[in-house]
């Protein structure tokens, strides 16, 4: 059942009155407290490769970006980062990469099996639009969750931001449905303020979250990367009254509305939010509907190379090239959660169902 109508979503997206918006934040926070509680689950994010064969027009990892130095972590590096996640008390490790066929299906399946047999961690994968045989192989190896953001479902915008692979024409929304059938807890999400994205288009995406019954939903503002077609302004904006702005405020509205549309979903306060507001973005996101934080586990020598957009913010994570977690940064994170009346979640933080 829809808790908030499509028309209401459209109206809230255009709302700018601070008092009325305060009531939206309060409603979203109440729904969050009553459905997923005060615990904030920590998911350690490990960016295992920045190779990618795709040409998404917004993304700095796109194959066409020759300026980027590429890396791929080996099994030893991945496992030592995974143990760092365990020592830090995280419940999940998220292995993320571009669509990199240098990561072979069987190789990653072995790593997933190792993590599942040597640790109690949940494993989330975010490996792009891989073929079904890989998705099934990894699920059979024990992977719990899969993330694939469709970014926009708008039929005009989608092909402009996600050019098809030469040999495939699969829509990410269809792959999201496939992931659910395979048995993953499934996450997706969108980008806010893509040039050409109107309010009704954004409202339809939020509405679609509910239809897809997503377990995890990540949303973040579009941040231009200068070495991409979108960053070079090759996509046309709509007239100002119609164009969704890629602002921090709009991102909070979408987080709050997403919480109301999908009360039980796990919703992160994303790295993109930490990028647009380094000091308050995560805390504010958590107060307006989010319940997940994804500290970065990627060894420092690789972190700046995982440049989907420039000057990416970072949520406290490992402090040195060894990737060992600095206890002070972890303490700071716990303290910041405590300051807003939240606790750190135990266990894997799977989706709750009411």
Site residues (CB under 6 A) for ligand SF4? 52, 54, 56, 59, 61-62, 98-99, 128
104-117: b (≥16 Cβ within 10 Å) or e: ebeebbebbbbbbe
Q: Which two tokens stand for residue 336?
A: 């910041």
Instruction: Give me the least distance between CB of 59 and ligand SF4, in Å please.
Output: 3
How many other C-beta atoms are found inside a 10 Å radius of the C-beta of residue 293?
A: 28
Distance of CA 196 to the CA centre of its chain: 22
Instruction: Give me the least distance between CB of 54 and ligand SF4, in Å please.
Output: 4
- Nearer Cβ to ligand SF4 (99/205): 99
- Nearer Cβ to ligand SF4 (56/135): 56
With 0-12 / 13-18 / 19 or more C-beta atoms within 10 angstroms meaning exposed / middle / buried, residue 174 is exposed
- Nearer Cβ to ligand SF4 (99/316): 99
- Nearer Cβ to ligand SF4 (17/311): 311
| Helix, strand, or coil (residue 107) | helix
- Nearer Cβ to ligand SF4 (61/78): 61
How many other C-beta atoms are found inside a 10 Å radius of the C-beta of residue 89?
A: 14
Output phi, psi for 225, to 5 deg. -110, 125
Instruction: Give me the least distance between CB of 330 and ligand SF4, in Å please.
Output: 28
289: left (phi over 0), alpha (psi -120 to 50) or beta: left
Instruction: Give me the least distance between CB of 285 and ligand SF4, in Å please.
Output: 21
Instruction: Give me the least distance between CB of 268 and ligand SF4, in Å please.
Output: 17
């Amino acid at each position: 059942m829809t808790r908030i109508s499509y028309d209401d979503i459209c109206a809230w997206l255009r709302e700018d009155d601070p008092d009325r918006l305060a009531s939206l934040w309060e409603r979203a926070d109440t729904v969050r407290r009553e459905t997923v509680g005060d615990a904030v689950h920590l998911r350690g994010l490990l960016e295992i490769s920045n190779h990618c064969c795709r040409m998404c027009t917004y993304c700095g990892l796109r194959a066409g970006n020759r300026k980027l130095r590429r890396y791929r972590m080996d099994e030893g590096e991945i496992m030592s980062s995974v143990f760092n996640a365990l020592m830090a008390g995280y419940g999940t490790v998220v292995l993320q990469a571009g669509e990199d066929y240098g990561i072979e299906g069987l190789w990653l399946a072995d790593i997933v099996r190792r993590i599942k047999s040597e640790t109690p961690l949940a494993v989330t994968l975010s490996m792009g639009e891989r073929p079904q045989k890989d998705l099934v192989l990894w699920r059979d190896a024990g992977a719990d969750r899969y993330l694939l953001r469709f970014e926009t479902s708008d039929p005009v915008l989608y092909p402009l931001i996600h050019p098809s692979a030469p040999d495939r024409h699969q829509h990410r929304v269809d792959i999201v449905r496939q992931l659910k059938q395979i048995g993953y807890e499934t996450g997706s999400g969108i980008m806010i303020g893509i040039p050409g994205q109107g309010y009704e288009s954004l409202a339809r995406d939020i509405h679609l979250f509910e239809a897809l019954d997503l377990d995890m939903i990540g949303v973040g503002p579009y941040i231009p990367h200068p070495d991409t077609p979108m960053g070079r302004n090759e996509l046309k904006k709509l007239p100002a009254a119609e164009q969704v702005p890629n602002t921090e405020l709009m991102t909070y509205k979408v987080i709050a509305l997403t919480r109301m549309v999908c009360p039980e979903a796990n919703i992160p306060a994303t790295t993109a939010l930490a990028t647009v507001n380094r000091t308050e973005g995560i805390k504010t996101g958590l107060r307006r509907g989010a319940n997940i934080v994804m500290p970065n586990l990627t060894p420092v020598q690789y972190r700046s190379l995982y440049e989907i957009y420039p000057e990416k913010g970072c949520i406290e994570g490992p402090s040195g090239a060894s990737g060992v977690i600095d206890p002070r940064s972890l303490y700071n994170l716990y303290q910041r959660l405590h300051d807003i009346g939240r606790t750190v979640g135990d266990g894997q933080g799977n989706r709750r169902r009411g």
